[in-house]
Amino acid sequence: MESNNTKKLRLYIFKSNKHIYAHLIDDNKKKVITSSSTVSKDIKDKIRYKKNCATAQIVGKNIGIKLKKLGIKEIIFDRGRNLYHGQIRAVADATRKEGIIF
């Protein structure tokens, strides 16, 4: 199953009962390149509540900044089984505001 998208990296969003995670995955090498979540050291101090849309925006902005530092401009957005609504949309919108295209 090879296509043009195999060269792009995948941003996978995972929500647990308490936290939200964003992982940038290289499927060709089967490695996580970078990640951001509500348990990350640089985000943990900025948030009041662990799981809401404002926190999801912080996670999205943080992962967008990390992607820009790595020189990545285009990705594939993978929301898993989650609906594109609420926190998932907040992560996506905040990442797009940082200039990442998907």
> pLDDT, tens digit, for every residue of 1-34?
344 445 789 999 999 999 999 999 999 999 999 9
Residue with structure tokens 């609906």? 83
Burial code (b: 16+ CB inside 10 Å, e: under 16) for 1-22 equals: eeeeeeebbbbbbbbeeeebbb
Rounded to an integer, the average pLDDT of 63-73 is 96
Query: How much is the pTM?
Result: 0.89
Enter the tokens of residue 48. Answer: 């009041």
| Dihedral in degrees, nearest 10, Cα atoms 18, 88, 6, 100 | -120
Q: Does domain 4-97 sit in CATH 3.30.420.100?
A: yes
